[in-house]
Amino acid sequence: MCRAFLYLASMEKPMIPGLDLPVRNIYCIGRNYAQHAKEMGSPVPKIPLVFLKPLGTICYNGDSISLPPQSNDIHFEAEIVVAISKTGKNISHGSTSEHIGGIGIGIDFTARDIQKIAKRQGHPWSIAKGFDGFAPISSFVTPDKVQDIDNLDIKLFQNGFVKQHGNSSEMIFPISNLINFLSQIYTLHPGDLIFTGTPEGVGPVNPGDKLEVLLDNGIQSLSVDIK
């Protein structure tokens, strides 16, 4: 069982590993890599495509993800994740780094069949993205441990085989742009997480699968089992 469920059951918020912060809001960016937009048959967005996930989606390294019975097509989407550590509104591009408390990785699980129906009907993606355990996260490192936030490698392995490999330099909207954009709409708070988008190579998971995500060949890692 994902440990986040235990936090929520006791009315406590899940914590961000490596940082002394409870998770507050979970902002996610869709289609932030051109090749992923292409593989989904979707246009490249002109402004960031934003959606949110509920707190119950958070779980952690070593956890097991239970596939929900409502979907027959759950996909993995590995992502670089940014943790906010300082409150900010209308944050300028030049000061975005002051608001970053940590860098980690996560998986944005998506019920693709449910999402396709929602797209056809013009409905939000909330259900497709929001099942319990659909946002496992790694531990986070402080920005001083990262050489270049705009040149970070991310790889996802499924049962030992590389399925996704991308770099933050390939983002349509770099991390500083995302923070600037989001802060014009929402006040960002300590504990907010930003899932920054997924590179190409997303695919389905099945019971018994093991997924591992690596950031820059091991600065951080995340491993989950599918059941």
Kindly tell me if the per-residue pLDDT of 12 is higher than 80.
Answer: no
159-210 residue pLDDT tens:
999 999 999 999 999 999 999 999 999 999 999 999 999 999 999 999 999 9
At 6 the pLDDT is 45
DSSP output for 110-133: EEHHHHHHHHHHT--SHHHH-STT
Kindly tell me if the per-residue pLDDT of 2 is higher than 60.
Answer: no
24-60 residue pLDDT tens:
999 999 999 999 988 888 898 999 999 999 999 999 9
According to DSSP, residue 171 is labeled B
Residue boundaries of the structural domains of the chain: 3-226
**This prediction's pTM:** 0.94
The CATH-assigned architecture of domain 3-226 is Alpha-Beta Complex (3.90)
Q: Is 27 exposed, middle or buried (0-12, 13-18, 19+ CB in 10 A)?
A: buried
